[in-house]
Structure formats: structure tokens, C-alpha cells
Chain A
């Protein structure tokens, strides 16, 4: 690409508007008025964009960056919510204790397992769904809107309905299982059933959304690629594998990144699924306590703000770690190919 552009004298690095002399050669000195106008003009060009985006960054500073830094400051102390003004300096003790805490590792594992059993089927199903929606079919608008409905449902309503479906004694799922001769499953107190049930809520809410993302990106693939493949004798499945998947790979990576962030922060679904004290602790045995819930338990049940802040930062660091890993893997694989 760079071959078509004239080589910059500074050597490739696109300098922010190299300080070109104002006007062409000056044309007889130029009045001070004109140079002021030039300054305004230049500010207009270079300054205004910053002016326009400033509100976002100011708000981000107040509501994003400041809380982030303040949280870190808090995480170095022992602080209780009822006595926020008395802080006891602990250094990194909150973090070292966290690493020794079984509950933290338990929550991390749960976050990972729930993340996997919700994300993987969800993305695969979304891919399949998008593929089907990509065919010319009657009432396609209806199906596309329908796919998005769960996404528009509030998390509270969705989680509550699923909680009732997965109820032990009178839930519909157990009733249906009973009809085919399977004994009632205690969905909320057994570990894997509980994690499975929570994953179902997540899958239900987000499959359609991802399917639409995939669909949008599939429609950008030129038709003639399929035609060419068909002429070469590729089956539908081969077309899907060799044309569709590479064509939407950027979107796939995008959805994987977003799901990873979402999975790390999983909070609302298990909280509502457990209801009451069992929601906060993720089941009586912490069998589905995620990092988000552990943070909530420390902060809003035990009222230990220092420990809660340490967990918040641990989650933040984990996300950064995943991001870095993903970049490294991406670079290594692209270098190989």
C-alpha cells in the first residue's frame, strides 16, 4: 500500500501535520491580522477535534479513570463501608491474601468454566443461526428481529424466568425431564447443573445478538466467491468452511474478545439465579460464585471495601493478561502463516 504514496522525507512516520510555513512564500510579509487568522484557522483544524472529543474524556476521567485509581488506592487499605474515613494501610496484603484465598481460586475457576460452557456453544450456535439467516427465506426480517429479542430483554426478567424454569420441585425443566423418566435434578444446589443452568441464561440472551453480528459480516462477503466455489464443485459445508469462516474471521475474533470480557464480569445472572444470600455467595457451597459475585460479597455483604477493591483490580489485571495473551498468540500464528 505504501508504494503508491510519495515517500515522506521524515521516513514513514506520519508526522502530525509537519510544520509547513503558512502561506506560499509569504507574499510580502503578510499582515498580523492574517497571521492571527491563520492561527485561528490552524486551531480550528487541529484543536477543534480535541475540543469535540473532550467531553467524553472529561466524563471518562471523572467516572472511569478516577474510580479506577481510587479503587486501587482503597485496595491498599483495610476499610469498612461504615467507617470509610478510617483507613488502615495494608500495602499489598489484600492482594497476597487474595492469592492464598481458596474462595478466590474457586471463583476464578467457576468464572472460567461458566465462561467456557456458555461462550463456546453460544458462538457456535450463533454461527449456525447466522448461516441459516443468510439464506433467502420468507419473513427474514421477522427472524432477524426475533433473534434480537432476548438481547433486548432485561437481565433481571430473563434470569428470573429461567430461575423458575429450573426450580427443583415445580420447575418446568424438571417436569419435562420427569415426563421422559429422568428424576428431578436439584439445579441450584448441585455444582454442574447450576453452572449449566446459569450458562443457559447467558446463551439464551446473547446468541441472537452474536448471530446478527455474524450475519452482517457474512453479507459483506462477495457472492461471486460462493459462485466460484460452487463451480469448483465445493459442497455447502465446504463453502461454509473455506469461504464464510475466513470471510468473517475479524468478526469472530471481535465476538470472542467481547465474550471474554463479559464472561470475566459475569454477575447478574448467578446473583438472581441464587436469590438472597445464596445468590451473593453463589450457592451454599460457592459452587457457582463468580469473580463478580465474590467482589460483591466482600463489598456489599461483608462491607470490606479494601478486599473488594483488590478483587476488582485482580479482575482488571486478568482481563489485561488475557488481552496480551491473545495479542501474542495472534502475532505468533500470523507469523507462522
Chain B
């Protein structure tokens, strides 16, 4: 029986689309005169992913209102993996690109290394010096070309359930909770052991998954998987090894619910309250409040993480192919200006990558009602300043991070930790080959 007709169709459609794109790429580089002026307006197209917030917060509408001669057409892809695959195809084919394209941090290095000539230089943009120093360096080429301006960053904190902490005899006040593990991730795991021992409900887990812990630990350091020369160093990097060992010990001691973030079972886990804490970057708060639902409002709180670390964040750049570079550049610079970044934070919780914005009252005084009125502006703002001033990125960061996350899941399944490391190592070698 022709079982997977749909799957087959999907695969062959993708293949056909790709080869078509390739054909297009070989035959003609430009889309001739694509109408940039409809009813006299200048059209700026944007390709975005996830919840970058420009469309969602109404900023684009605001800009069009202020500039009646501009029309913005934004396309938002839900999943970054899908978005990046399409972006790469378009870049390779030299067609189908939008005027403005988003770049995720895990892909930044690859874009800088292989596609720098496809984006215009934004280093001369007016008032561009308000960003955190390390943010723009991530999308700057060796000869000083800036390929994109920063949108948000992902400083981390610990989101925890007050009610669950209380029944296990742990403090519930966010200052005291932060003191439990201040300065050292192993103290966080130690708190987990106490939790497990004293918890009345033995089914409750302390943390969702060991992979979140691993991410938080490695991203607190300058280097993770690569060194500045683009050489792989994860095998010998003590930061990676320590993070691995601690994550393994948390898994072996049964402190996790074996529910990796954003994967199967995690959302139901939030909704049904099966774990007491999770490592949460600023942009995750929206997701947690949505999935844990109104029933758990006021039970969650946010405490400072043991160490500052950055997970996620993005950039937006203008493509060389665009016919409206000047207008697009203006839009990019306006969208990433401190006021707009602060506005998005208020609306959606994406923390500004602009130093200036981090000090705006709208950010510093922000509180989250869902998370028991936690002063998230202060907590994440402080965490942002603790992030190392430099973050060395690598070409396959995103894929390597996934490989480690899967390696830790193997440990969760009961595989020997050394075996799991070996498997992970082999996988990374293959995907970077």
C-alpha cells in the first residue's frame, strides 16, 4: 500500500522546489524589475522567524503610519530551522530574498563566514553605538563589516514554582532562592538533591531536563564549541566538560523530569506541573505563562541564575540584492533603536540588546504579573550585564547544541555517560565534517 504518499509528496516537493531554485539560481540572478512601488508607495519586504515581536507588537503598523509612503510586508516563519533552510536556499540561488532578513545567533557565524557579500554593511548606520559591545561583534566580519543590527538577547534566570519549593522545605522568596545557588551551578543541583529528599510528592521533579542546565552553564563562558580561529574545541573545553558532568549527575540522581525544553511533553509538563524549576531566558517567560496557563498564575516566580549566561537572540540585516536599501536600512535602525526595543520588552518580554534600552525606566521597572510580580526588568537586566563581554560563535553552533541535548537524553534513558559522550562526539564529527 502506498503508505506515505503525503510524506513522499512532501519530500519530493521539497526536492523539486530546491532543484527549481537551483535552476533559477543558475539561469538568472535577479528578478528583473520587481515592483517596489505599488500605488506610489515604497514596499519593504521582511523575512522573520519565531516571535521577534515587530509584527506582533504593532511596531510595523506604527512605522507605516509615521511614513505614509512606505509599505512593509513582513513574512514570519514559525520555526527557525525551516526559516534558515529557506534563507540558505534563497542566498544560494540569489533570488527570493527579502529586503530585510532575520539572522538567529546560532547561524550568525555561518552567515558571516559564507554569506557576508550578500548583506550590506550597517556599521555606518546613525546612532549604532547603543548596543551591548559583544552583540554586534557577533555579526561583524574580519574587515569590520556589520551584517545586521541586534534585536534581543537571552540572559537567563531560574523560573521556579513557589508552591513546590515550599512543600519541599526550600525558601520561596526570590532573593533567598537566588542565595541558595548564588555563583555556582553545582549549588543549584545541590538544591535539587535537597528538594528530592524532602519533597512530599515523590513524582515531582526538580528541573525539566538536564539539557537546559547544560546550555545555561556553557553559555556563561566566552567559548563553547569553537575557538576564535573556527577550530572545534568542545572535546577539551573544560567549560563543556564541567557542564556535561554536572548535567549527567543531575540526570543520574533523578532530579529531572526528562522533558527537554520545547520538545515533546514539555508543554503538557508545564500545564500539569510536573517539575519545580527550569532555566529560563527572558524570551521564554511568554511561553511558560501561555503553556502553564491561568491555573498556575502566581505560583511561578523568577530568581537570579547562579551565573550570567546568554541563550538566543537575533539580528536583522539588509540584503545586497534589495532595491530599497536606504529605506530598509532606516527601518532596521528604527526597529532596533532603544525605544522600540524597550517597547517590545514591555509587550512580549524580549530583552533589549541595546545597552541604552536596558537602562530605560520602561525596562528597569518592568514586573511580571504572571510570575508573582517578579521585577523581571531588574533580574534580566542584571543578568545581561553579567554575560561575558565576548561570545565566540561557530558555524555549526545550533546543530552541535542539539547534539549535546540529545546526548544528555541518552543519559536520561540510562545509557552510560561515557558512551553517550562518545556517541555525541561521533555525531558532531559527522555534522562538522
Measuring CB to CB, which residues of chain A are less than 8 angstroms from any residue of chain B? 63, 66-67, 70-71, 80-85, 103, 118-119, 122-123, 126, 154-156, 163, 167-170, 186, 188-190, 202, 205-206, 209-210, 213, 255, 258-259, 261-263, 265-269, 271, 274-278, 281, 284-285, 292, 295-296, 300-304, 312
CB distance from B39 to the nearest CB of A (A): 37
CB distance from A195 to the nearest CB of B (A): 14
Are B5 and A303 in contact, with the CB atoms below 8 A? no
C-alpha gap A81/B110 in the complex (Å): 11
C-alpha gap A70/B265 in the complex (Å): 41
Closest 6 CB pairs of A and B: A262-B3, A268-B7, A284-B409, A155-B6, A267-B7, A84-B92
The answer to whether the Cβ of B263 comes within 8 Å of any Cβ in the partner chain is: yes
Are B406 and A278 in contact, with the CB atoms below 8 A? yes
Closest to A281 in B: B406
Chain B neighbourhood of A284, CB < 8 A: 406-407, 409-410, 413
B249-277 residues with Cβ-Cβ distance < 8 A to A are 258, 262-265, 268-269, 272, 274
The answer to whether the Cβ of B11 comes within 8 Å of any Cβ in the partner chain is: yes
User: Can you list 6 pairs linking A and B with CB atoms under 8 Å apart?
Assistant: A81-B85, A155-B7, A267-B11, A269-B7, A285-B410, A303-B88
The answer to whether the Cβ of B389 comes within 8 Å of any Cβ in the partner chain is: no
The answer to whether the Cβ of B35 comes within 8 Å of any Cβ in the partner chain is: no
Chain A neighbourhood of B25, CB < 8 A: 84
CB distance from B292 to the nearest CB of A (A): 14
Are A67 and B268 in contact, with the CB atoms below 8 A? no
Are A275 and B92 in contact, with the CB atoms below 8 A? no
Chain B neighbourhood of A85, CB < 8 A: 92
CB distance from B419 to the nearest CB of A (A): 10
C-alpha gap A192/B74 in the complex (Å): 44
C-alpha gap A155/B13 in the complex (Å): 15
Known: A66-B19, A266-B7, A278-B264. 16 other contacts (CB 8 A): A82-B91, A82-B92, A84-B92, A119-B1, A123-B1, A126-B1, A167-B268, A186-B413, A202-B3, A258-B2, A259-B2, A262-B3, A262-B5, A265-B8, A277-B405, A302-B431
Closest to B414 in A: A189
Chain A neighbourhood of B7, CB < 8 A: 155, 265-269, 271, 292
C-alpha gap A84/B412 in the complex (Å): 39
Cβ contact of B1, chosen from A82, A258, A295, A302, cutoff 8 A: A258
Are A169 and B269 in contact, with the CB atoms below 8 A? yes
Measuring CB to CB, which residues of chain B are less than 8 angstroms from any residue of chain A? 1-8, 10-11, 14-16, 19, 22, 25, 81, 85, 88-89, 91-93, 110, 114-115, 258, 262-265, 268-269, 272, 274, 399, 402, 405-407, 409-410, 412-413, 415, 423, 430-431, 433
C-alpha gap A265/B9 in the complex (Å): 10
CB distance from B214 to the nearest CB of A (A): 14
- Dominant SS at the B interface? helix
Closest to B402 in A: A277
Are A302 and B4 in contact, with the CB atoms below 8 A? no
CB distance from A4 to the nearest CB of B (A): 38
Closest to A80 in B: B114
Are A67 and B15 in contact, with the CB atoms below 8 A? yes
Are B265 and A168 in contact, with the CB atoms below 8 A? yes
Chain A neighbourhood of B431, CB < 8 A: 301-302
Chain A neighbourhood of B16, CB < 8 A: 63, 67
CB distance from A272 to the nearest CB of B (A): 9
Chain B neighbourhood of A263, CB < 8 A: 3
Chain B neighbourhood of A261, CB < 8 A: 2
Are B4 and A265 in contact, with the CB atoms below 8 A? yes
Closest to A276 in B: B263
Chain A neighbourhood of B410, CB < 8 A: 284-285
Chain A neighbourhood of B92, CB < 8 A: 81-85
Chain B neighbourhood of A295, CB < 8 A: 11
Are B19 and A67 in contact, with the CB atoms below 8 A? yes
Known contacts A67-B16, A81-B85, A170-B268; decide if A268 and B1 are in contact (CB<8 Å): no
Chain B neighbourhood of A70, CB < 8 A: 19, 22
CB distance from A183 to the nearest CB of B (A): 13
Closest to A118 in B: B3
C-alpha gap A186/B257 in the complex (Å): 12
Are A262 and B268 in contact, with the CB atoms below 8 A? no
Are B399 and A169 in contact, with the CB atoms below 8 A? no
Are B6 and A154 in contact, with the CB atoms below 8 A? yes
Chain B neighbourhood of A67, CB < 8 A: 15-16, 19
Chain A neighbourhood of B11, CB < 8 A: 265, 267, 292, 295-296
C-alpha gap A269/B1 in the complex (Å): 15
C-alpha gap A123/B2 in the complex (Å): 11
Are B22 and A169 in contact, with the CB atoms below 8 A? no
Chain B neighbourhood of A186, CB < 8 A: 413
C-alpha gap A202/B1 in the complex (Å): 10
Closest to B14 in A: A300
Are B115 and A267 in contact, with the CB atoms below 8 A? no
Are A302 and B399 in contact, with the CB atoms below 8 A? yes
Are B4 and A269 in contact, with the CB atoms below 8 A? yes
Are B265 and A167 in contact, with the CB atoms below 8 A? yes
C-alpha gap A285/B415 in the complex (Å): 10
Are A82 and B3 in contact, with the CB atoms below 8 A? no
Chain A neighbourhood of B264, CB < 8 A: 163, 167, 188, 274-276, 278
Closest to B91 in A: A82
Known contacts A70-B22, A82-B110, A122-B1; decide if A189 and B399 are in contact (CB<8 Å): no
CB distance from A270 to the nearest CB of B (A): 9
Chain B neighbourhood of A266, CB < 8 A: 3-4, 7
Chain B neighbourhood of A188, CB < 8 A: 264
Chain B neighbourhood of A66, CB < 8 A: 19
C-alpha gap A209/B258 in the complex (Å): 38
C-alpha gap A188/B265 in the complex (Å): 10
C-alpha gap A70/B19 in the complex (Å): 8
Cβ contact of A169, chosen from B3, B6, B93, B268, cutoff 8 A: B268
Chain B neighbourhood of A81, CB < 8 A: 85, 88-89, 92
Cβ contact of A262, chosen from B2, B88, B262, cutoff 8 A: B2
C-alpha gap A278/B413 in the complex (Å): 14
Chain B neighbourhood of A274, CB < 8 A: 264
Are A189 and B413 in contact, with the CB atoms below 8 A? yes
Chain A neighbourhood of B263, CB < 8 A: 275-278
Closest to A262 in B: B3
Are B4 and A267 in contact, with the CB atoms below 8 A? yes
Chain A neighbourhood of B115, CB < 8 A: 82
